[in-house]
Structure 1
């Protein structure tokens, strides 16, 4: 997805907000485009679909956290702030953004069946794993869980 590495301005692509369930924050398509360097080659429809699936997945994984903090929103749960924003919100966005790009990258594999497309797809496979790992780390951090469990045999 190296072709998807330029910053998008509001004039280039209209923003759309994907609303969440009230506890977790809404996600701006323009914000994810800029944060993850996705340009207009990813249509809003494809991006929207990937963001919705990523939000659903992260929300599911964080359901126990949400249950423990009923009556709040993620923004009102006590947490450190960095740059004026709760680290919980930052980590939620990181998880959603990473899962979104992993999904889009996997979909990209099936869109370009040329030799160069197959080569690029194989080069992107490690990126998909890294994105999914980063999403899992962000979710584990929100839940207050250890990122890695190892067992000696």
Structure 2
């Protein structure tokens, strides 16, 4: 095991979203994903932008159905936790989880040793869990059931 610990410098930054969905604070996302300086700001930004694009697309119909009455997601009446709209919390969770899954997928491929192969296998459930959590947050936000059942 190496005693080397990555301690790259990171800066606080916010990603501006469209006028309807909330902006994403990259520092909060970094803390929620427990990322250290090994994940550069550039890579975190790319993962968050990709996640924002994906979540915004998934919620396009939801936005279309509410945009005429509400100027932003946070304006839709909803319960709040610690002064933050439940819908905004779910949106942030979806974006953070999708970005986290992308980062884990990308970073696990850098170590190709035998230990790296074992670690990659161990990370696969984490990736699946992050994607599941994102999907659940999107479905909860949109008011849809978490599972889809179809008769064959």
- Written as runs of structure 1 = structure 2, the 5 A alignment for 1:2-21 is 13-21=10-18
Question: Of residues 18, 30, 33 in structure 2, which corresponds to 1:33?
Answer: 30
Q: Where does 1:4-83 land on structure 2 (aligned, <5 Å)?
A: 13-71=10-68, 72-83=71-82
Q: 1:123 aligns to what? A: 122
Q: Distance in 2 between matches of 1:86 and 1:130?
A: 24
Q: Which runs of 4+ in 1 moved over 6 A?
A: none
Count of residue pairs the alignment pairs up: 143
Task: Report the alpha carbon displacement of residue 150 of structure 1 after superposing the two structures with TM.
Answer: 2.8
Residue 108 (structure 1) aligns with: 107
Q: Gaps (5+ residues) in structure 2?
A: 1-6
TM-score when scaled to structure 2? Answer: 0.89
Deviation at 1:149, TM superposition (A): 2.2
- Looking at structure 2, the residues matched to 75 and 143 of structure 1 have their Cα atoms a distance apart, in angstroms, of 13
Q: What TM-score do the two structures reach when normalised by structure 1?
A: 0.88
List runs of 5+ in structure 1 lacking aligned partners. Answer: 1-7
* CA contact 2:10–2:40 (8 Å) conserved in 1: no
Cα deviations across residues 52-91 of structure 1 (Å, max 9, x unaligned)?
Answer: 0000000000001110111420110111111110000000
SS in 2 for 1:48: helix
Q: What RMSD in Å do the two structures reach over aligned CA positions?
A: 1.5
